[in-house]
Amino acid sequence: MRVLPIAAIAALVALPAVADERAIPMKKAPNLDKVEANCQACHSLDYIPMNSPFPNAALWDAEVTKMIKAYGAPIDDADAKAIAEYLKSNYGS
């Protein structure tokens, strides 16, 4: 029975940290609307700029493909191409 009070205290301690968290802004560029409409339906867009020093164009293509084929993201071919172009143009190495 000690687990519940400890979990409640931990949640209360962590709450102020979450309240101060701010989203990382995305670069304003063509096809950002496609990224916002499709990608953030499943996850935060913060992952993109946080990880952007690492991916090259081929990796962004692979990431978009993975989201569709492995995770089942319902993104049509035209939007997938637009998303990949946005990522490669703005966050590729």
CATH number of 24-91: 1.10.760.10
Report CA-CA distances (Å) from 39 to 2, 31, 78, 80. Answer: 40, 12, 14, 10
Q: Which of 3, 43, 2 is nearest to 23 (CA)?
A: 43
Is the pLDDT higher at 25 or at 19?
A: 25
pLDDT at residue 50 in the model:
85
The pLDDT tens digits of the residues spanning 30-81 come to: 999 999 999 999 999 998 888 777 789 999 999 999 999 999 999 999 999 9
Q: Which of 85, 28, 23, 31 is nearest to 60 (CA)?
A: 85
pLDDT at residue 22 in the model:
76
Residue 19 has pLDDT above 90, yes or no: no
In which band, very low, low, confident or very high, does the pLDDT at 92 lie, cut at 50, 70 and 90? confident
Q: HSE of 83 in the Cβ direction (CA atoms, 13 Å)? A: 27
Listed by start position, the domains of the chain span 24-91
